[in-house]
Amino acid sequence: MKALVYEDKGRIQVQDRDIPTPAAGELLVRVSHTGICGTDLHVWHGGMKRVKPPVILGHEFSGVVEQAGSSSSEFEQGDRVTVEPLITCGVCPACRAGFYNVCSNLKLLGVDTDGAMAHYVVVPEHRTYRLSDRLSLKDAAFVEPLAVCVHMVERSGLESGQTCLVVGGGPIGLITAFAARLKGANVLISEMNAYRIQLAQGYGFDVINPLQGDLRGKIRDATAAKGVDVSFEATGSPQGTTACVENTGIRGTVAICGLPKQLHEVDTYQFIAKELSVYGSRVYTRSDYEQALALIESGRFKPEWLISRTVSLDEAIEHGFEAIQRGDALMKVLISLENEAGR
């Protein structure tokens, strides 16, 4: 099979690989679609020290079961599926408490072990979801990033009628904005990129460009000087964290999921003075995945809103990774493997 492999810092390449064999409790999935995520770019640039190359990238995906590792499997060849790409230990305090998403030994397909930017991938059966006929394989590749955002919104305690600020209008930020609006919240987005601003405004979001005015003043005007009830940080930047802290009102909530590229200072006095709550948000739980599936199946969230381009595996580096890195007018790029030859 072909696979897109992270070889070393700054170096990725499409290679020939052997098709893996599933063990008991695992499934071999023939990949249909895989999303390119900010985490994949982070790995590409050597920003995740835990990654031990060579490793096949890709953790947002859908596909069809090719083979089960056990005759007692609940899945059959031909089942259409999507997968939580998490590998957990099951024995650490977090796992025993039911919080497997923060497992002390958490591993991720496409980061810590081979992932889905390949014709085939081996996955844990207990993290696999059978798809209904209403859901296309292309759309099902969007369940994973939507689940990330559903988890963050649920973790924050955001309620219908509240006002929230999403800092960052990239894929995770914009999906979070959709998830918050589906929750019934009033959503403000802070974003500087002209393409992202135009896209978000096209879907009816109120977007503030902090480079073109006083973000804090505009939010005070929009909230009658109260500040927002909840803020979501989706950039991983010091400026993003500061914007959340400054613009969240008394006894409000700051939710953080943007991966920081470096340590940065936070004005902790603001947490004291305003009695703010802060929540970290890491991946998702089963209930988040089920909710994300239901939102896409029902049509309340449409992946087509954010899919800018679909490429083949051979095109993925030039027209996916490098295009995103250049800052081309793209929101989400999918790699399609469903019609490739030699499978």
237-284 pLDDT tens trace: 999 999 999 999 999 999 999 988 788 889 999 999 999 999 999 999
Output the pLDDT for position 260: 86
Cα torsion through 100, 105, 109, 111, rounded to 10? 130
Choose, from 42, 223, 242, 310, the residue flagged as catalytic: 42
Residues 325, 41 contacting (CB under 8 angstroms): yes
* pLDDT at 329 exceeding the cut of 50: yes
Q: Return d(Cα 343, Cα 340) in angstroms, integer.
A: 7
Output the pLDDT for position 342: 40
Residue 34 vs residues 156, 223, 260, 262, 313: alpha-carbon distances, Å = 28, 39, 24, 28, 9
39 is catalytic: yes
Burial class of residue 81 (count of CB atoms within 10 Å of its CB; 0-12, 13-18, 19+): buried
Q: Return d(Cα 237, Cα 258) in angstroms, integer.
A: 8
Q: Give per-residue burial for 118-135: e unless 16+ CB within 10 Å, then b.
A: bbbbbbbbebbbebeeeb
59 is catalytic: no
Output the pLDDT for position 340: 67
- The three-state secondary structure class of 53 is coil
Residues 214, 238 contacting (CB under 8 angstroms): no
Q: Which residue has the tokens 């095109």?
A: 315
Choose, from 21, 33, 34, 39, the residue flagged as catalytic: 39
The pair of structure tokens assigned to 161 is 């009628």
Q: Note the pLDDT tens digit of each residue in 197-231.
A: 999 999 999 999 999 989 999 999 999 999 999 99
pTM, to two decimals: 0.96
- The three-state secondary structure class of 136 is coil
The pair of structure tokens assigned to 130 is 């059978």
Q: Return d(Cα 177, Cα 168) in angstroms, integer.
A: 10
